[in-house]
Amino acid sequence: MAQMSVSPLGIPPPSPRGIALTLRHIRTVLVAAALATGAAPALAQEGASGPTTQPTTQPSTRPARSIEAVMMDIQGMQQDLAAVMNDPRVLSDPEMRDEASDEAVPLLRRLVGLMNEAVASAPPQLQTQLKSGVYQVQALLVGFGDDDTRKALEAEEGVDAKAAMTLGEFIAGDGTPEKLEAVKQLDALATENPENPGVAQAAIGMVSLSQGNAEVTNAAKVIIREKLRGQMAEQLKMMLQQMEMMERATTQPGQQG
């Protein structure tokens, strides 16, 4: 099944390729935050040179790190994450997921910490975008079986946390029944919150991670086509149409020649 590259929020659905796109999206938001806080010159220089090494630890007398320092740490994680999650099946094949979890969980936990640090340092108008990325990575952690992240999400009352939990349970599900149960939970959440971005993000993730399971894919598509509302829902419907056109093009043999 073709992977969807990016969501209407600018954040891709969970996948190995999606992790790299997520980091690039976070970088874009951090640059915008730097512009708002006056760190733009340093960020521009960092972006031109493209370092991958982590910055030295700042003196303990400084209460918080700058957006640019956080961004450099996030950028430095790209190669580590790519090495661990370099196979598209790592989030859909239970055996591969279990094998990767020991390395993936510490990296993703650190990424959550860095993103939360960025949320705290960013201007208010950018905090929501960064926080949506935190929930996406937390969904991955739940999928990899991280109990601490599961407990943290369960302790939250917000819709975004609940949507991230359902996506994590979807990833963690080893078979069709488990995945359908996660879709069912998200369907109920979408019924009550049809315009919530976190719910939309989870629905996209479920569609993109169905890996050719028609029953699960169709159940997730129902959420987008029948439950979600607003401009985002219309965008998602168009994206589904594009995905289906690509699938038909790859499964049908050439008609010419």
Mean pLDDT, rounded, for 61-81: 76
Mean pLDDT, rounded, for 40-66: 45
- Matching residue, tokens 């599961």: 150
| Residue 3 or residue 90, greater confidence | 90
Asked if pLDDT for residue 16 goes beyond 60, the answer is: no
Tokens of 224: 């987008």
**pLDDT, position 8:** 33
Mean pLDDT, rounded, for 200-223: 90
3-class SS at 197? helix
Asked if pLDDT for residue 62 goes beyond 80, the answer is: no
> Residue 158 carries which side chain, given as an amino acid letter?
G
Asked if pLDDT for residue 92 goes beyond 70, the answer is: yes
Q: Over the stretch 108-123, which tens digit does the pLDDT of each residue have?
A: 999 999 989 988 888 8
Asked if pLDDT for residue 22 goes beyond 60, the answer is: no
Asked if pLDDT for residue 31 goes beyond 80, the answer is: no
Mean pLDDT, rounded, for 50-79: 62
Of 40-54, 56-70, 90-104, 215-229, the one with minimum mean pLDDT is 40-54
**pLDDT, position 1:** 41
Burial of 194 (0-12, 13-18, 19+ CB in 10 A): middle
Dmax (CA) for the chain in angstroms is 72
| Residue 24 or residue 47, greater confidence | 24
**pLDDT, position 247:** 77
Asked whether 74 and 108 are in contact (CB, 8 A), the reply is no
Mean pLDDT score across all residues of the chain:
78
What phi and psi, each to the nearest 5 degrees, are found at residue 113? Answer: -60, -45
Mean pLDDT, rounded, for 194-220: 90
Q: State the Rg of the chain over Cα.
A: 19
Q: Over the stretch 127-159, which tens digit does the pLDDT of each residue have?
A: 888 888 899 899 999 999 999 999 999 999 999
Q: Give the C-alpha separation, 222 to 183, whole Å.
A: 10
Mean pLDDT, rounded, for 219-228: 95
**pLDDT, position 218:** 94
Mean pLDDT, rounded, for 191-211: 90
Mean pLDDT, rounded, for 195-204: 91
Confidence tier at 64 by pLDDT (50, 70, 90): confident
Q: Give the C-alpha separation, 41 to 64, whole Å.
A: 19
* Percent of the chain surpassing pLDDT 90: 40
**pLDDT, position 164:** 96
Asked if pLDDT for residue 72 goes beyond 90, the answer is: no
